[in-house]
Amino acid sequence: MTINAQEQTHYRACHLCDATCGLEIRRRGDEILSIKGDKQDPFSRGYYCPKALALQDIHNDPDRLRQPVKREGDNWIPISWDEALDLTVDRIFDIREKQGPNSIAIYLGNPCVHNYGMFTHSGHFLSLLKTKSRFSATSLDQLPHHLVSYLMYGHQLLIPISDIDHTDYFLVIGANPLASNGSIMTVPNVRKRLKALQNRGGKLVVIDPRFTETAKVADEHHFIRPGTDAAFLLALLQTLFEENLVDTAHLTPLLNGLDDVRSAVRPFTSERAEPLTGIPAETVKQLARDLAAAGRGVCYGRMGVSVHMYGTLCLWAVQMINIVTGNLDRPGGALFTKPAFDTIGGPVSRPGHFGAWSSRVSNLPEFSGELPAVAMSEEMLTEGDGQIKALFTGAANPVLTSTNGPLLEKALGGLEFMVSLDPFINETTRFADVILPPTSTLEHDHYDMAFLAMAVQNVVRFNQPVFPKPDGALHDWEIFTELGKRMAKKLGVQPLPDSTPDQMIDFGLQTGPYSDQAGHPEKLSLDRLKQNPHGIDLGPLQPSLPDRIYSDSKQINCAPDIIIVDLERVENHLRQTTSDESGLLMIGRRHLFDANSWLHNCKRLVKGKNRCLLFMHPDDMTDLGLTDGQTVKITSRVGSVEVGVKATDEVMKGVVSLPHGWGHNRPGVRLSIASQHAGVSMNDLTDEKAFDPVSGIASLNAIPVTVAAV
């Protein structure tokens, strides 16, 4: 297709993180002239971060594949789409025929969630495989959020969102929105919103083992020993009960099992938690009193309490704290969103299922059709019926982003066939036999299916492509469609009728809560969104209970059995002597310029000081005879890496911090800039045997390590 040579201005939401900032992108021909924030965007109002400029670099990156390739030895041979798609389906079909459906594994990574065509169009092909060997980044991220919502509210996507713009007390535990730009809380310009909270007399409190960017702007910060948050959150909840600070207000008729919770948490006092967490009992009590007195307050927990040995328990406790303070479903508390395309209330609603089957080797439970990522390597390496022999990856780099990367590398090396839907030859896709590269993001349209449903304000936008699709290229969704057609033919089943992602969005909008059909004055449709390229504000979050609850009883299940049973684990932890708690614990770290493993090939985001450093408290360094800047060897149960160390009292004593997503020095990686700024992979140290036994979520923090001079 020819490109219009005229100068054009496009408005488009950035897809690089969860904040979905509206951008103004000016281009002439195939050249991008500028990228900046869209001041007319009703949600982000001109805010954007430096990462947005990477959109241009990704689009122009010479390392980005424009044509499918197949591997022959160490060489990559460009091939036609027909050859690539046929080869993929032939090989998967043959392996599946011989070794059964579960021998084919699927792994979908984080950027799938930012690419709506992968949502709407992956299902057909993937479901034809009928494999139980399905994995994704969910079990390295937000799985406990989904599981808790499923258990308590009856739907995996009914996750209450912190009403940051109206709250007066924001208790943040294990999240660093100033670096991450927010998560399970779509919130462009979080810094400004936190400032506004403080300006209206509200308070920001951060609980984190590191004095993070967010902690630095907070009114209070308390260090917590990594991995002990369950004891902290239970103590907070216990105090609320103990001191009669419970006021369930409007929620009272909806609560099922509140008394069971009250008695179950009784033993978990703040005095008992103190030696484990390092937070004084009196501080916990004061936090409980402050939250209860705030009126409009919210407790928000993210990665630091989700990818955690007690991930499910922690996120349940967060819900309970919001419930007993009457802050669930109340403005300024935590509310359910009402997105224009409603994946909860709509016809495609999937409430979820849990434990319907389990993994072959370690018996870990499925959640909504997926097994925990920590089980993937052993499912490839352990011989027997159902062993994984082939792998399909989509937008994923688990060698750098899932636990024990080297073990996964060994497993990938032993597969009979691997295919990757990805624009780059990275640490994971280099193991593929075939790589299927989609169009660049700017060459397709965009609708934030996932993130608009978690936004702190109801808002909607649809963006047209910035550049036309190059001749012969395929979008991600078209690749899925082509694979689906071919596989359906082989299996002798009907392919799906042709449709496009935007048609599905249009249908969802026209049957959704803001449609003409629903009698809403906005009368949303795709056409209407096309006429409003900056997006449409749909108003603040509103109470929606009991209508929104999905459980049959229309009640909130406060005391799910598996949670109450799991309290025993915390009890045992509290009873342990502290002698084994004396070693170093490693936590992760996000930096504004990163996006997991995949933006290190943009020069402007990696230039300057090396960011892949181990942060360590000066006292710990003195104890170990280490000096600032020297190279150290970090060793965990599964491996070791060598990296520079930086002395900083930003991390609490006994804690070290290393970012993830680095380690680009592996052979065969074709990321020319990233390879020059390789760093080391934190996930060469994370342990596939360390996970929350309830959900199977990986424990990516609180990793026991030793550090020594090299």
Ligand X SMILES: Nc1nc2c(c(=O)[nH]1)N[C@H]1C(S)=C(S)[C@@H](COP(=O)(O)OP(=O)(O)OC[C@H]3O[C@@H](n4cnc5c(=O)[nH]c(N)nc54)[C@H](O)[C@@H]3O)O[C@H]1N2
Taking alpha carbons only, the member of 673, 467, 547, 654 closest to residue 33 is 467
Q: Name the segment binding ligand X (CB under 6 A); options: 77-85, 105-113, 197-205, 347-355.
A: 105-113
- CA-to-CA distance for 27 and 10, rounded, in angstroms? 8
CB of 61 to ligand SF4, least distance (A): 17
> Going by DSSP bridges, is the β-strand pair 640-647/614-616 parallel, antiparallel, or unpaired?
parallel
Q: Is 594 in the site for Mo ion (CB under 5 A)?
A: no
Crossing angle of helices 311-324 and 258-265, in 10° steps, is: 120
Instruction: With CB under 6 A as the rule, give the number of residues binding ligand SF4.
Output: 12
| CB distance 177 to 183 below 8 Å | yes
- CA-to-CA distance for 128 and 493, rounded, in angstroms? 9
| Residue 16 binding target from ligand SF4, ligand X, Mo ion, none, CB below 5 to 8 Å by type | ligand SF4
- What is the identity of the amino acid at 374? V
What does residue 325 show for φ and ψ, rounded to 5 degrees?
-90, 5
Q: Is 602 in the site for ligand X (CB under 6 A)?
A: no
For 133-150, the three-class secondary structure string (H helix, E strand, C coil) is CEEEHHHHCCHHHHHHHH
DSSP 463: B
CB of 652 to ligand X, least distance (A): 10
- What is the identity of the amino acid at 468? P
Q: Is 49 in the site for ligand SF4 (CB under 6 A)?
A: yes
Q: Is 188 in the site for ligand SF4 (CB under 6 A)?
A: yes
Positions in 469-528 near ligand X (CB under 6 A)? 476
Nearer to ligand SF4, 14 or 536 (CB): 14
Q: Name the segment binding ligand SF4 (CB under 6 A); options: 9-17, 170-178, 249-257, 282-290.
A: 9-17
| Residue 20 binding target from ligand X, Mo ion, ligand SF4, none, CB below 5 to 8 Å by type | ligand SF4
Q: Is 404 in the site for ligand X (CB under 6 A)?
A: no
| Beta carbons within 8 Å of 366's beta carbon, 6+ residues apart | 132, 353, 354, 355, 356, 357, 358, 359
Positions in 205-224 near ligand X (CB under 6 A)? 207-210, 212, 224
Positions in 618-677 near ligand X (CB under 6 A)? 660-661
Positions in 164-183 near ligand SF4 (CB under 6 A)? 181
- Taking 3-state DSSP, the helix, strand and coil percentages for the chain, each rounded to the nearest 5, stand at 35, 20, 45
Positions in 346-385 near ligand X (CB under 6 A)? none
DSSP 556: E
Other CB atoms within 10 Å distance of the CB of residue 627: 11
Nearer to Mo ion, 19 or 237 (CB): 19
Reading the block at residue 669, the tokens are 């990686």
Nearer to Mo ion, 419 or 595 (CB): 595
| Beta carbons within 8 Å of 607's beta carbon, 6+ residues apart | none
Positions in 225-244 near ligand X (CB under 6 A)? 226-227, 229
Q: Which of 18, 38, 41, 141 binds Mo ion (CB under 5 A)?
A: 141
| Beta carbons within 8 Å of 287's beta carbon, 6+ residues apart | 171, 205, 236
Interface contacts to ligand SF4, rule CB under 6 A: 14, 16-17, 19-21, 48-49, 51-52, 181, 188
Interface contacts to ligand X, rule CB under 6 A: 17-18, 109-111, 115, 137, 140-141, 173-177, 179-181, 183, 207-210, 212, 224, 226-227, 229, 302-305, 394-398, 401, 421-424, 426, 438, 441, 476, 587-588, 590-592, 594-598, 660-661, 682-683, 686, 700-702
Interface contacts to Mo ion, rule CB under 5 A: 141
